[in-house]
Structure 1
Amino acid sequence: MKNNIFKISALSAAVVVSLAGCGSDNNKAKTVPVVQDSAPTASDFAIADLKQWIPVTGEITAKDADGDALSFSFTENDKEIEGVEGVYTFSHGILTVDGKAYTYVSTSGEDAEIDYTVSANSKSASAKINIVGVANDPLAIQQWHLRNTGQKAYALSDEMKKGMINLYVTRFGFTEEAATTRINEDFAKSEEELVAGEDMNVSVAYAMGVTGQGVTAVVVDSGMEIRHEDLIDNVLPNRSINLNVEVVDRTDPTSTANSGDHGTSVAGLIAAKGWNGLGGRGVAPDTGLIGMNLLGGDKIPQTDLLVHGFPGSGISKSENISAFNRSYGITFPTFISYSELNEAIESYPNIHLRDGKGALNIKSSGNAFDSDENEGSLCKDNGANELGLTCYNGAFEPSQSHPYYFSVAAVNANGKHTSYSTAGANVMVSAPAGEFGRFSPAMVTTDQMTCINGYSGFNGRGIASWAAAFGEEFAATQYPFNYPGHADNESCNYTSSFNGTSSAAPNASGVVSLILSANPDLTWRDVRHILASTSTLIDADNAEVKLTVGEGEFVAHEGWVENSAGYNFNNLYGFGRVDAGAAVAKAKNYDVVLGEEVISSWIGAGSAVGEDALALEIPDNSATGLTHTIEVAEELNIEAIQFKFDVSNSEMLMAVSDGTQTSAGTDLAIEVTSPSGTRSVLLSSKQALFLPALNFSSGFLNGYILKDAVMLSNAFYGESTKGTWTIRLLDTSNKSFELSGGDKNFVEATGISNNTALSVLEGVSLRVFGHAGQE
Structure 2
Amino acid sequence: MHPSNRNRTILSLATLLALSAGAAQAQQGDPLYRYQWHLMSYGQSVLADTKPAFAVDLGIDDLHDYNVRGKGVVVGVLDSGVDIAHPDLAANMVPDGSWNFDTQTHDTSPTNASNAHGNAVAGIIAAVGWNGIGVRGVAPAAKLKSFNGFGDCFLFCGLSTGEIFYAWWDGAQAKRQDVSNNSWGYSGTTMQTFSENSVASYEGPMSQTREGRGISYVKSAGNDFISDCPKAIVDANVGCKQTGLDYRNNLFNVMTIAAVNANGKRSSYSSPGSGLWVSGLGGEYGRQVKHQPGLAANRYEPAIATTDLVGCDRGYNNFVIKSSFNLNQVNDLDSNASTIDNSCNYTGIMNGTSAAAPTVSGVVALVLQANPKLTYRDVKYILATTARKVDPNQPAAVHANGTVLVPGWTRNAAGHSFSNWFGYGLVDATLAVESAGKFKNLPALVDSGWQRVQPDAAVAIGNPAAPARLQIAIGNGIRKVESVQLGWSTDYRNDAATPFPVQVTLISPSGTRSTVFPAMTRLSTSAFRADFFASNAFLDETGQGTWTLELADVPLAAGAASKGKLASFKIRVLGH
TM-score for both structures, normalised by structure 2: 0.90
Q: CA 1:688–1:151 in structure 2 vs 1: closer, same or farther (change >3 Å)?
A: same
Q: CA 1:440–1:349 in structure 2 vs 1: closer, same or farther (change >3 Å)?
A: farther
Contact 2:502 2:553 in 1 (8 A): yes
Equivalent position amino acid for 1:136 in 2: G
- Report the equivalent of 1:328: 184
Separation in 1, partners of 2:19, 2:543: 53
Match of 1:292, SS state, is strand
Shift of residue 195 of structure 1?
0.8
Q: Deviations over 1:37-94 (max 9, x none)?
A: xxxxxxxxxxxxxxx99xxxxxxxxxxxxxxxxxxxxxxxxxxxxx97997835752x
> After superposition, where does 1:448-597 map in structure 2 within 5 Å?
448-456=309-317, 459-467=318-326, 475-549=327-401, 553-591=402-440, 593-597=441-445
Contact 1:153 1:496 in 2 (8 A): no
Unaligned runs of 5+ in 1: 1-51, 54-82, 94-105, 111-133, 157-190, 468-474, 607-611, 653-659, 693-702, 736-754
Match of 1:427, SS state, is coil
Equivalent position amino acid for 1:573 in 2: F
Equivalent position amino acid for 2:489 in 1: D
Separation in 2, partners of 1:444, 1:662: 38
- Report the equivalent of 2:40: 147
Shift of residue 216 of structure 1?
0.4
Equivalent position amino acid for 1:684 in 2: P
Contact 1:205 1:585 in 2 (8 A): no
Equivalent position amino acid for 1:108 in 2: A
Equivalent position amino acid for 1:355 in 2: E
Q: Does 1:768 align with 2:570?
A: no
Q: Deviations over 1:618-669 (max 9, x none)?
A: 12x54432222222223311010111111222x45xxxxxxx6475x71111
Shift of residue 299 of structure 1?
7.6
Within the candidate set 88, 93, 96, 1:238 is matched to: 96
Contact 1:240 1:292 in 2 (8 A): yes
Q: CA 1:405–1:300 in structure 2 vs 1: closer, same or farther (change >3 Å)?
A: closer
Q: Deviations over 1:494-514 (max 9, x none)?
A: 000000000000000000111
Q: CA 1:347–1:301 in structure 2 vs 1: closer, same or farther (change >3 Å)?
A: closer
Q: Deviations over 1:140-175 (max 9, x none)?
A: 11101000122343112xxxxxxxxxxxxxxxxxxx
Unaligned runs of 5+ in 2: 3-10, 153-157, 288-299
> After superposition, where does 1:290-439 map in structure 2 within 5 Å?
290-296=145-151, 302-310=162-170, 312-316=171-175, 319=176, 321-347=177-203, 350-372=206-228, 377-378=229-230, 380=231, 382=232, 384-438=233-287, 439=300
Separation in 2, partners of 1:86, 1:144: 20
- Report the equivalent of 1:644: 487
Match of 1:423, SS state, is coil
Q: CA 1:482–1:682 in structure 2 vs 1: closer, same or farther (change >3 Å)?
A: same
Separation in 1, partners of 2:512, 2:530: 26
Shift of residue 283 of structure 1?
0.4
Contact 2:448 2:474 in 1 (8 A): no
Separation in 2, partners of 1:478, 1:258: 18
Q: Does 1:671 align with 2:505?
A: yes
Pairwise CA RMSD:
2.5
Separation in 1, partners of 2:129, 2:204: 31
Q: CA 1:371–1:90 in structure 2 vs 1: closer, same or farther (change >3 Å)?
A: closer
Separation in 2, partners of 1:531, 1:624: 38
- Report the equivalent of 1:440: 301
Separation in 2, partners of 1:226, 1:513: 20
Q: Deviations over 1:161-216 (max 9, x none)?
A: xxxxxxxxxxxxxxxxxxxxxxxxxxxxxx3x631111101133224431000010
- Report the equivalent of 1:605: 453
Contact 1:350 1:360 in 2 (8 A): no
Q: CA 1:574–1:302 in structure 2 vs 1: closer, same or farther (change >3 Å)?
A: closer
Separation in 1, partners of 2:117, 2:426: 23
Q: Deviations over 1:424-478 (max 9, x none)?
A: 010000011111111110000000000010101xx331332322xxxxxxx2353
Q: Does 1:268 align with 2:154?
A: no
Match of 1:724, SS state, is strand
Contact 1:362 1:406 in 2 (8 A): yes
Shift of residue 322 of structure 1?
2.2
Contact 1:647 1:761 in 2 (8 A): yes
Separation in 2, partners of 1:254, 1:613: 58
- Report the equivalent of 2:5: none
Equivalent position amino acid for 1:567 in 2: H
- Report the equivalent of 1:746: none
Separation in 2, partners of 1:343, 1:488: 48
Contact 2:253 2:377 in 1 (8 A): no
Separation in 2, partners of 1:327, 1:274: 23
Q: Does 1:686 align with 2:544?
A: no
Q: Does 1:630 align with 2:472?
A: yes
Equivalent position amino acid for 2:191 in 1: F
Per chain length, whose mean CA-contact separation is higher, i.e. which structure has more relative contact order (CA < 8 Å, sep 6+)?
2
Equivalent position amino acid for 1:291 in 2: S
Q: Deviations over 1:585-604 (max 9, x none)?
A: 1111213x421111112223
Equivalent position amino acid for 1:579 in 2: D
Equivalent position amino acid for 2:342 in 1: E
Within the candidate set 17, 27, 34, 1:89 is matched to: 17
- Report the equivalent of 1:181: none
Match of 1:107, SS state, is helix
Q: Deviations over 1:234-287 (max 9, x none)?
A: 00011100001xx2x610111112134110000000000111111111100000
Separation in 1, partners of 2:32, 2:343: 14
Separation in 2, partners of 1:267, 1:274: 13
Shift of residue 522 of structure 1?
0.7
Larger radius of gyration: 1
Q: CA 1:342–1:444 in structure 2 vs 1: closer, same or farther (change >3 Å)?
A: farther
Separation in 2, partners of 1:734, 1:476: 53
Separation in 1, partners of 2:329, 2:80: 29
Identity over aligned pairs, percent? 33
Shift of residue 352 of structure 1?
1.5
- Report the equivalent of 1:728: 550
TM-score for both structures, normalised by structure 1: 0.67
Q: Deviations over 1:113-159 (max 9, x none)?
A: xxxxxxxxxxxxxxxxxxxxx85101111101000122343112xxx
